[in-house]
Amino acid sequence: MLKDLTITEFLEKTASAEPLPGGGCTAALNAALAASLTEMVANLTIGRKEFQAVEDEMKEIAQTAAGLSKKLQNDIDDDARAYQEVLAAFKLPKNTDDEKKQRAGAIQKAFKNAATVPLGVARDALKIMDLASRAVAKGNQNAVTDGAVGVLVSRTAALAAIYNVKVNLSAIKDPDFVKELAREVEALESQVIEKEKQILDPLKI
């Protein structure tokens, strides 16, 4: 799996003239990174006398962030697999009318999945922004920069995932599906941009 590659291997594979791993995988990886930075801020707070009042909240943040990081690590591969399925669908035979119909259906199904995977990443990245915001506001102030970086990274993870939803939507012919997802990513996009400002501006870093 891609998450089992070393950093150097993953970067080399990204850089190569193969389309995978691409921007969608980067989005999932970035969301996982943001989750892990958030978990770190919580972990650097837990067990310290001066933060006893927020001990339970920090434990909950650490646990939720750890779960999201694990899920998002798998999304790196899910995103790659979804794109591979699109490519595979295009390679299906198209000699008869029946084959053409089946191929067209497989292509549409694959594009829908390729739009749905990054939509999940964008949703999770937004959740991570909220977790990071709480960790930064109430957690160990020595780690505030790490939490702030988590916010920046989750913002970019969400926007990158949204780009990948949009590019796949442009190939989907089901107007209801397109309308629903387009509406959701538009809302997510505004929330992400607004939230980044709301969290980071008051920190005055």
Name which position in 7, 49, 50, 97 contacts its own copies (CB under 8 A): 7
CA atoms within 13 A on the CB side of 140: 18
94 three-class SS? coil
Place of tokens 């070393």: 6
119 binds its own copies (CB under 8 A): no
Task: Supply the DSSP symbol for 44.
Answer: T
Using the minimum distance from each CB to its own copies, give the nearer residue, 106 or 167. 167
Using the minimum distance from each CB to its own copies, give the nearer residue, 46 or 89. 46
Phi, psi of 118 (to 5 degrees): -65, -25
Using the minimum distance from each CB to its own copies, give the nearer residue, 97 or 204. 204
d(CA 164, CA 38): 24
Angle at 154 between CA 153 and CA 160, to 5 degrees: 90
Contact segment (CB under 8 A) with its own copies among 38-46, 105-113, 127-135, 173-181 equals 38-46
37 binds its own copies (CB under 8 A): yes
To which H or E segment does residue 32 belong?
Answer: helix 23-43
121 binds its own copies (CB under 8 A): no
Using the minimum distance from each CB to its own copies, give the nearer residue, 6 or 96. 6
Using the minimum distance from each CB to its own copies, give the nearer residue, 133 or 164. 164
- Report the interface residues with its own copies, using CB under 8 A: 2-8, 10-12, 14-17, 19, 22-23, 26-27, 29-30, 32-33, 35-37, 39-40, 43-44, 46-47, 65-66, 69, 73, 76, 142-143, 145-146, 148-150, 152-153, 155-156, 159-160, 163-164, 166-167, 205
